[in-house]
C-alpha cells in the first residue's frame, strides 16, 4: 500500500458556542482510521493558561499537528498576554508562511471568554457569525444544529451538548464521548 493509498485519519467534531455570558467548547472523543475506530475517548478540548490567562482550545485533524500548533499558540500568547486575536493572527501567519508548519493538518477553535475564533492553516483567523463555530468531520452538522437552537432558552453548554449529540447521530466519525470546557465571557 503506497502512502497515497493509506486511509486518512478521520473523526472529530469540535463546536464553540458563545451565549448568555459563557463560551463553551465541546469535542467528541472518536479517532478513526479508515473504517475503523481507533479510540473513542480522545480528549480534543484543552484548557491553556499562558501567562495566567485562561484559554480554551479545541482541535480537529492530526493530533501531533494540533499539539504543535497549541504549543506555538501558547508561546504567542505568552509574548502578547491577554491578546488572543493578536496571538492567533501571529500563529496563522507563521502557519501559512513557515515551510514546516505548512504541512500541519489541523484546525483550532479558541476562546478567552471574550472572543471565539477559528484558526486555519490557510492563514485564516475567523470570528464566526451567530456566535457558533464548528470544525471537523461532523462540524457542519453540529453547526447547523447549534444555530437552530441559539434562539431557544438553552444555555451555551446545553446548545453545545445537543448539537454534538445530533452530529454524533449523523456523522460516523463522531461519537458521544464529550469533553466540554466552559469559560465566562
User: Which residues are known to be catalytic?
Assistant: 12
On whether the CB atoms of residues 41 and 29 are closer than 8 A, the answer is yes
Give 180's contacts (C-beta < 8 A, 6+ positions apart): 24, 25, 26, 45, 157, 160, 161
Give 11's contacts (C-beta < 8 A, 6+ positions apart): 28, 30, 31, 32, 37, 136, 137, 173, 174, 175
- Collapsing DSSP to helix, strand or coil, 110 comes out as strand
Greatest distance between any 2 Cα atoms in the chain: 52
Q: Cα separation of 59 and 72, whole Å?
A: 14
Q: Cα separation of 53 and 149, whole Å?
A: 30
Nearest C-alpha neighbor of 66 from the set 25, 95, 41: 95
- Collapsing DSSP to helix, strand or coil, 3 comes out as coil
* Distance between first and last Cα of the chain: 49
Amino acid at each position: 500500500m503506497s502512502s497515497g493509498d493509506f486511509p486518512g485519519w478521520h473523526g472529530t467534531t469540535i463546536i464553540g458556542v458563545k451565549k448568555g455570558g459563557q463560551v463553551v467548547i465541546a469535542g467528541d472523543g472518536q479517532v478513526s482510521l479508515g473504517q475503523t475506530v481507533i479510540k473513542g475517548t480522545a480528549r480534543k478540548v484543552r484548557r491553556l493558561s499562558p501567562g495566567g490567562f485562561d484559554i480554551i482550545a479545541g482541535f480537529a485533524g492530526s493530533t501531533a499537528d494540533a499539539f504543535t500548533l497549541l504549543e506555538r499558540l501558547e508561546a504567542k500568547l505568552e509574548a502578547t498576554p491577554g491578546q488572543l486575536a493578536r496571538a492567533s493572527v501571529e500563529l496563522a501567519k507563521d502557519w501559512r508562511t513557515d515551510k514546516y508548519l505548512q504541512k500541519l493538518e489541523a484546525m483550532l477553535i479558541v476562546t478567552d471568554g471574550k472572543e471565539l475564533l477559528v484558526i486555519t492553516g490557510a492563514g485564516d483567523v475567523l470570528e464566526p457569525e451567530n456566535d457558533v463555530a464548528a470544525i471537523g468531520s461532523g462540524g457542519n452538522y453540529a453547526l447547523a444544529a447549534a444555530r437552530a437552537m441559539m434562539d431557544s432558552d438553552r444555555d451555551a453548554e446545553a446548545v453545545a451538548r445537543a448539537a454534538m449529540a445530533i452530529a454524533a447521530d449523523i456523522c460516523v466519525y463522531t461519537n458521544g464521548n464529550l469533553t466540554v470546557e466552559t469559560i465566562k465571557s
